[in-house]
Structure 1
Amino acid sequence: MAADPIVPDTKDWTWAAHRRCDECGFDASQVSPSALAAGLRGLTAPWREVLTRADVTVRPQPATWSPLEYACHVHEVLDVFTGRFSLILDEDSPALPNWDQDRAAIEGEYAGQDPERIAREIPERTEGLIAVLGGYAGESEWERAAIRSDGAAFTGLSLARYLTHDLAHHLSDVGAGDQIPPPGSSRG
């Protein structure tokens, strides 16, 4: 029996780069470039444990992603954002390509992926992203502008904060909110 379709998230989450999220408690506005590498590692490390759960493929509600599906989303988000950060470094004020996360989940068959492979690849993708972020040398690089396909404006830093919130929020979504490191901490 096929899973129910996921209810698309149509919220505009861009505000989460600038203030505390009441849902997950993470305040991405406190993330500094110097704490970003450790923060990303800390926000992706808990997936290894999440992906060993006996109920990793079980949806809490028929139209809500399972922990495995959330992990696959994080897995792909890391690649999407690696590309976005590279584009910002390579071009002046680039337009960031559209990415439909709901379509990606269907086309990527998230529900049928191997949890062990996803657990192994999340840290690899995190390190790839951190390597690209290493190219942001100095404040001027972090202030480079980009526009998302829906017209939302970002700088390198606000996009990094947006990403860290997304990663924290999804840990909260799967009940691992107690493993979210504080913004700006070196835990990770």
Structure 2
Amino acid sequence: MLPRLTAKARVAAMTITPDTKNWTWVLERPCPECGFEAGAVAPEEIPGLLRDNAEAWRALLAAGVVAGADGLRTRPEPAKWSPLEYACHVRDCCEVYLGRVSMMLEQEDPQYPNWDQDETALAENYNAQDPEQVLAALVANAEQLAERFAEVAGEQWQRTGHRSDGSDFTIDTLARYFIHDPIHHYWDVTGRRYES
């Protein structure tokens, strides 16, 4: 069971301004912040990119665990998540997108259930979670999703699904849209731009 949020922690968690941007533009041009060009990636490259990213998070979190969890829980500024919060988000994104890809493979043009990442971060008290457990789950979830993407073949890449906001995806575009997220959040934490 996760610790309950104290009043101070609730106020701190609420200082994050929810991200309401539609990030689908990353399929059309390189991200000016992290440097990743999702539109140039072949869908077959996604499993390897995801595994590489999970290993980068493993190294980052393991170093923080050794040095002490306080640094992992520290927000660089009030309106930006801590490294641990970003890691929790990446872990949960892998789980959410595993569900979305599975829906697209098993159903005709499904609409994905809504997922509010900011509400989840608050409800799950991301910054109070155990870094070692987060790390283990992030790597496991990334591997499950990588395996799922690796199973997609041929015309399956063109199967469709959509969000309630009207954004339509094929498994191909969903994979490339998704992989920007963990790569971008690694940049959020480290400042290291993506290099292919």
Same fold at TM > 0.5: yes
Tell me the equivalent position of 2:107: 91
Structure 1 counterpart of 2:156, from 141, 151, 175: 141
Please state how far the C-alpha of 1:23 moved relative to its aligned partner.
1.2
Deviation at 1:121?
Answer: 1.7
Alignment of 1:97-136 (within 5 A): 97-136=113-152
Instruction: Name the CA distance, whole Å, in 2 between partners of 1:18 and 1:67.
Output: 28
Question: What's the counterpart of residue 176 of structure 2?
Answer: 161
Greater Rg over alpha carbons, structure: 2
- Residues 81 and 4 (structure 1), Cα distance of their counterparts in 2 relative to 1, 3 Å cut: closer
The structure with the largest helix share of the pair is 2
Contact 1:145 1:156 in 2 (8 A): yes
Give the C-alpha shift of residue 49 in structure 1: 2.2
* Superposition map of 1:1-188 within 5 A: 1-2=8-9, 3-5=12-14, 6-51=16-61, 52-53=63-64, 54=67, 55-138=71-154, 140-175=155-190, 177-178=192-193, 180=194, 182=196
- State the Cα distance separating 1:89 from its structure 2 match: 0.2
Q: CA deviation at 1:48?
A: 1.4
What is the aligned length? 180
Q: Does structure 1 retain, via aligned residues, the 8 Å contact 2:110–2:162?
A: yes
Q: d(CA) in 2 for partners of 1:84 and 1:176?
A: 29
SS in 2 for 1:116: helix
Q: Deviations over 1:41-83 (max 9, x none)?
A: 1122111122232411100111210000000000100000000
Unaligned runs of 5+ residues in structure 1 are: 183-188
In structure 2, give the amino acid aligned to 1:155: T
| Contact 2:44–2:150 (8 Å) recurs in 1 | no
Q: What is the percent sequence identity of the aligned residues?
A: 44
Q: TM-score, normalised by structure 1?
A: 0.90
Over 3 Å off, 4+ runs: none
Spell out, residue by residue over 1:136-160, the C-alpha distance to the aligned partner (whole angstroms, 9 max, x if none).
111x111111111111011101110
Greater CA deviation, 55-64 or 75-84?
55-64
Deviation, 1:181, is 5.1
Q: TM-score of the superposition, structure 2-length normalised?
A: 0.87
Aligned-residue Cα RMSD (Å) equals 1.4
